[in-house]
Amino acid sequence: MSWMQKISQWTAEEVMNLMRERDSLLYLKYVRLSNGEYRFGDATSMAVEHKGLASGDQPVSAAMVKIYPDGLMVEGNSMTLQMGPAKDDEDNLSQLFGLPIKSRYL
């Protein structure tokens, strides 16, 4: 079973396990819920939607995150939820995964 087939929705802890298993780019959709929880799914899959990641809970932000072995970058927004990232999502995700924010200008 491939790493993408293991789960269609991941917690932050599960994403950290995927990062350890792979040494390449992870491109994920995420939602941040009103309780501060982040949920993640494969951004390359048409079957994963931000609305599905929220699973009936109240989202406060939604976007995509590219996680490289040496940093991360938040981008885009959610068409299904009609919202984008919160101003502090990139900083929060950087702290959560222990990775620096990558510059968009390199």
Asked if residue 78 lies in contact with residue 30, where contact means CB atoms within 8 angstroms, the answer is no
Confidence of residue 99 (pLDDT cuts 50, 70, 90): very high
Model pLDDT, residue 1: 32
The pTM assigned to this predicted structure is 0.83
Alpha-carbon distance values, 33 to 4, 50, 56, 62 (Å): 23, 11, 10, 9
Average per-residue pLDDT in the chain?
Answer: 86
pLDDT in tens, 17-69: 887 787 778 899 999 999 999 999 988 887 889 999 998 899 999 999 999 98
Q: Report phi then psi at 96, rounded to 5.
A: -60, -45
Model pLDDT, residue 11: 82
